[in-house]
Amino acid sequence: MESFFLAETTKYLYLLFDDENFIHNSGSEGTVIQTANGECIIDAGGYIFNTEAHPIDVASLDCCYNPPDKQYKDS
């Protein structure tokens, strides 16, 4: 058995069952940031895991990489 299998499985289990971990944010709190694309709320819950068990905030992906809708309407 590969060593990373046990390490990543243990990490996933810890993140899933630790009630005080930031992963379990219900969306009642978050952080407002300003970017070139506008104002965004991050750290409000809704995480996905990459293949190395690192949590990725879905809101930050949308905020950091998608231009505002108004740019498409002006074209």
Angular region, 3: left φ>0, alpha ψ -120 to 50, beta rest: alpha
> Per the annotation, does 35 bind a ligand?
no
Cα(73)–Cα(75) distance, integer angstroms:
6
Which residues participate in the annotated binding site?
51
Which residues participate in the annotated binding site for Ca(2+)?
51
